Structure 1
Amino acid sequence: MKNKVLPIVMTTFLAAGLIAGCSNKDNGSETSNNVSKTETSGKTDVTGNEEAALTSIPLPITKESITIDYWRANDAKLTASLENFGQLAAYKKKEELTGIKVNWTHPPLGQQADQFNLLVSTNDMPDVIYYNWATAVGGPEKMLADGRIIRLNEYIDKYAPNLKKLIDSDSDIKKQISLDDGTIYMFPYIRSEARKLNGTAGLVLRKDWLDKLNLPVPKTIDEWHTVLKAFREKDPNGNGKKDELPLTGKDGAGTLNRLNDFAPAFGVLGGFQFKDGAIVYGPLQPEYKQFIETMTKWYAEGLVDPEIITNDGKAFDYKITNNLAGAYSGGVFSGMGKYYNLMKEANPAFNLAGAAWPIGPAGKSYATFNLGGKVLTYGEAITSSANKDKIKYIVQWMDFNYSPQGHDLFNFGIEGESYTKEGDTIKFTDQIMHNPKLTYDQALAAYALSIMDGPMDQDSRYLDALLAYPEQKEANTIWMGADDSLTLPGLRFTEDESRLNASVMTPISTYVSEMITKFITGKTPITEYEKFTKTIQSMGIDQIAKIYEDSYKRYQSR
């Protein structure tokens, strides 16, 4: 599962003006919307006299023949059995219920960013684009200012009762779905049950190794050192060789940034964070030096896989499935369930345990990422190319996913085929859990969006139903309980702020990554740490801290 739970501080442009307003002129017809450019406020006016705001989505939405042109990246889990999202069982059922057809376009896997940039540079865009808008050049603000996508607030008020209910009933969703000026531009991927759904990744250890050595799951930095040292010296894989890699991971970037997972034990993160009520840059804090000193010691003692800086997915899998890896960062699916399934025949004793973020001098189990993010940066936006007479139907079609019926459909699939209900509990059928041709995630991807991502409110019951091993459920419970008070929410930058951030932070981030690796591997002595921090300051970090402070103030006032 993609762990899209990790919040991104988005370096996006603030729009100078918004586009694509809409005014309704009542003529007694269902297709009386007229879209016009609004050069003054950039707002969308749908306040005609034609009909009252919807309280529910009518099914079918319209008896007219309507087709929506829709662009989104494909997903490898879906393409294991289907060609496109139109073949997904939930979307097929949605077409049957709403009466609206969809013409799907998918860029080749891995080429979505390039294809998106080409797409939005033309005047012939589809009606709807689903995308990770945090990665769009200039962000959604620039897309709005350039007339690529339209403002949706007034459309949501009038034609999207289900999304509007979510927004009105949850202040976090209302704040996170909006840009700094209050604009809503997409029907998003939502996790209203944020902590549980975001707390699906953390530190994982070989529980069978711990049991063999009579060691508990470590809770503190000192206990972690004891465990990793035992993994290195006491032959827990039982082959008579000192080949164990106590702590490994996959970075592939030629740095030791992966070890930042242990930095919160010292009350610091590898980037911007909260500290004593202020926003600061973690590597400049004295506690970060303590973290680096600890990691340097671990590395010198052979407790860290030296190939952690180059491991790709294949190398990482090899080390775990060949009983070489003792601990690593992973998720409940890709870091636990995957390996249980791979190892259940080769090594029935294989067992894993999720560990809380370690407690160190800071005295708390701090998370490395924000667990409270309810609105992700993925979502579907309506482009300015959409026919003005179709927009209200598109909005209703999009809103269906957040209705009770659409919620179950896009989270679980087809009742009786992909899932059953026992009271309020969801259980996936053998078609999903024991498919003879597909893995469980591939099988569910043929029915629902919950295992991938999409415009929906993800339901944590899908997670419960897929966690086949009790150790996965225990890990989820542990990880969701972490203290995330060091982490920042998703912030937005103005055009000037974004430009400055990009020019200053890119060289700083590169320099910090390089120096972390040099310190930990011993290539640069820790006595040069003060020189390291002064260099960061000389590169303009204080300007960026001010940007973050200003952006956070705007976030609070949304």
Structure 2
Amino acid sequence: MRKIEISTTHTKIKGMLVSTAMMVALASAAAGCSGKEETGGSQAPSGAPAGAANAPADGKVVSSPLTLSYFVGLPNGLKDANEMEAYKELEKKTGIHVNFMHPAVGQEANQFNLMLSSGDYPDVIEWGWSAYPGGGQNALNNGVIIKLNDYIDKYAPNLKKFLAENPEARKQVSTDNGDIYTFPFIRNDPSLQTYFGLGIRKDWLQKLQLPMPETIDEWHTVLKAFKEKDPNGNGKADEIPMLLLKSKLAFGNLYLNAWGVRYDFYLDNGKVQYGPVKPQYKEFLTTMRNWYKEGLIDPDYAATNDKQKDAKVTGDLVGATDMAVGGGIGKYMAAMKDKHPTFDLAGAPYPTLKKGDKPVQGQQEPIFNGYGAVITKNNKHIIETVKWLDYKYGEEGHMLFNFGVPGKSYTMENGFPKYTDDVMKNKDGLSFSAALSKYAVPFGAPLVQDKRYQEQNASMPQQTEALKTWVQPDNKGILPPLSLTSEEASQIALIMNDVKTYTDEMFDKFVMGAEPIENFDKFVDRLNKMNIQEAVKIEQAAYERYLKR
């Protein structure tokens, strides 16, 4: 519910968790434990549900009060999800109250792991399940959560209908053997799957009479001009031509894509590859080393966090950086509106090596990225929980959780749900996401996201143009969401924890000049000795299973 941008490949998300191999063991050990007592309501039988629960005459899910426990990240700007109008309305509609368990901000992964190790699971857990070793399938195998296929078939008509009408979504939501384990967060429209890219100071380009850079060579020309020609006009050589946060692997994809590879696993003609062992990666590192040596890259990039980056951008220092359409372009344009009236941003094309070539890979989420709400094995009210979760996938629930309450957070204008000024121009100065969170949660939650939300979240001309630019790559090399077996998950964790640490360390050394580029072959040899090719084989096997779903 708090907006979390989740990576499209499970290997990147695993990095969010502490000791993934340990988590497998903890979850397996906890699978036989239950700290819950039944408190009434319809209890799910083992195996397939026997029949529909009796529905109250008033249309609610339950005839007597029922409370469910629910683990989920804290909504932006709220202290508890029960403050949200959508959840207040859902309780009225269903008769079900929810006790939300919100982990401390910044401690989500640690508290998730502790919860798993305790065996005292809440009724529902909302999480990015690609982060769980082996994904949702392994959580099923470990007995942490339950299989939902039969429950969806009998008690979730809204989700059942959506999956039947959208076979590609069903393919991604299902595991390799056809199991469905979650009520998913779905981005079913291509316009919702891209929201991130390179941003550049358009006003600086105009001041220096420079065209929008498209190739790596053109980027070099622009960044050199940003450094040398004082585009912020303060008479000081304080400009930072380019700042990309290493923590988001922005270096590894926003520019590396020009060489046709990625910083992690990717597809090349149906074969899984690992970018950092490729010769193209050496060429990329050589370019980044030269740029760093020339002062075109922020020398403090490796230690810069989001807050420091915001200060540099709003301090009129940064020429180009990675940014999201809402939390980047929208945030910075709003922050600088009164402070710097000529401040302007544009979404820059993903660069290529040759002029006129189509960018190969950019940022694109899958339809389902692994994020969703699961029902744990401790839940004593499975049928009621399924019906409660399914409400979000029906017409009423879709509008409620994408747009909120009619007359308060949106009004219908010619069939279009237009957010009110309380959301778009909040009098208390709340951001769009924080203002909307008082009413609804159309981002990172179990529902089908509505593109009309994004059309208003990205309503500035700079945002709409950026999205048009960022969707240009063909993205054929991006891996779909994959499932790993328990054994594969353990192997990947053991290999990639060390590989990622070493690759990240050597990236800095190569770029900063602490390690000569001439030692690249030794770097590749070390990765091969760390069994990176075995990891590639595991990914390939998982990809081939995905194709057969």
CA distance in 1, matches of 2:44, 2:122: 19
Contact kept in structure 1, 2:85 and 2:405, CA below 8 Å? yes
Q: Which amino acid aligns with 2:272?
A: I
Counterpart residue number, 1:9 = 10
CA distance in 1, matches of 2:490, 2:320: 39
Cα offset for 1:124?
4.3
Q: TM (normalized to structure 2)?
A: 0.89
Q: How does 1:380-399 map to 2 (within 5 A)?
A: 380-387=373-380, 390-399=381-390
Deviations 1:232-278 (A, max 9, x none): 1111111112211110133369xx86354201101011111112331
- Which shifted more, 129-138 or 223-232? 129-138
CA distance in 1, matches of 2:391, 2:58: 9
Q: How does 1:130-529 map to 2 (within 5 A)?
A: 130-136=126-132, 139-193=135-189, 195-251=190-246, 258=251, 260-361=253-354, 363-369=357-363, 371=364, 373-387=366-380, 390-437=381-428, 438-450=430-442, 452-529=443-520
Judged with a 3 Å threshold, the aligned counterparts in structure 2 of structure 1 residues 311 and 496 are, in CA distance, closer, same or farther, namely same
Counterpart residue number, 1:107 = 103
Cα offset for 1:165?
1.4
Judged with a 3 Å threshold, the aligned counterparts in structure 2 of structure 1 residues 342 and 59 are, in CA distance, closer, same or farther, namely farther
Contact kept in structure 1, 2:362 and 2:470, CA below 8 Å? no
Contact kept in structure 1, 2:402 and 2:441, CA below 8 Å? yes
Contact kept in structure 1, 2:134 and 2:485, CA below 8 Å? no
| Paired residue total | 526
Deviations 1:425-477 (A, max 9, x none): 33211111122222322110110011x42111111111111224200111012
Contact kept in structure 1, 2:133 and 2:490, CA below 8 Å? no
Contact kept in structure 1, 2:285 and 2:511, CA below 8 Å? yes
Contact kept in structure 1, 2:252 and 2:262, CA below 8 Å? no
Counterpart residue number, 2:60 = 61
Cα offset for 1:180?
1.6
CA distance in 1, matches of 2:545, 2:57: 38
Cα offset for 1:174?
0.9
Q: Which amino acid aligns with 1:77?
A: N
CA distance in 2, matches of 1:189, 1:128: 15
Structure 2 residue 36 is matched with structure 1 residue 45: no
Q: Find the partner of 1:35 among 36, 45, 52.
A: 45
Contact kept in structure 2, 1:88 and 1:448, CA below 8 Å? yes
Q: Which runs of 5+ in 1 are unaligned?
A: 21-29, 37-43
Cα offset for 1:58?
9.2
Contact kept in structure 1, 2:337 and 2:343, CA below 8 Å? yes
CA distance in 1, matches of 2:394, 2:129: 24
Q: Which amino acid aligns with 1:462?
A: Y
Contact kept in structure 2, 1:187 and 1:398, CA below 8 Å? yes
Cα offset for 1:70?
2.4
Contact kept in structure 2, 1:3 and 1:201, CA below 8 Å? no
Q: SS of 1:306's equivalent?
A: coil
Judged with a 3 Å threshold, the aligned counterparts in structure 2 of structure 1 residues 51 and 384 are, in CA distance, closer, same or farther, namely closer
Q: SS of 1:456's equivalent?
A: coil
Q: SS of 1:349's equivalent?
A: coil
CA distance in 1, matches of 2:181, 2:164: 16
Q: SS of 2:69's equivalent?
A: strand
Judged with a 3 Å threshold, the aligned counterparts in structure 2 of structure 1 residues 113 and 196 are, in CA distance, closer, same or farther, namely same
Q: SS of 1:107's equivalent?
A: coil
Cα offset for 1:339?
0.9
Contact kept in structure 2, 1:186 and 1:380, CA below 8 Å? yes
Counterpart residue number, 1:25 = none
Contact kept in structure 2, 1:5 and 1:373, CA below 8 Å? no
Identical aligned pairs, as a percentage? 40
Q: Find the partner of 2:80 among 78, 84, 88.
A: 84
Q: Which amino acid aligns with 1:35?
A: P
Contact kept in structure 2, 1:273 and 1:488, CA below 8 Å? yes
Q: SS of 2:455's equivalent?
A: helix
Cα offset for 1:512?
1.7
Deviations 1:351-406 (A, max 9, x none): 0000111111593312344x25011222111122222xx32221111100000110
Structure 2 residue 543 is matched with structure 1 residue 552: yes
Q: SS of 1:414's equivalent?
A: coil
Judged with a 3 Å threshold, the aligned counterparts in structure 2 of structure 1 residues 531 and 511 are, in CA distance, closer, same or farther, namely same
Counterpart residue number, 1:26 = none
Q: Which runs of 5+ in 2 are unaligned?
A: 15-19, 33-39
Contact kept in structure 2, 1:162 and 1:402, CA below 8 Å? yes
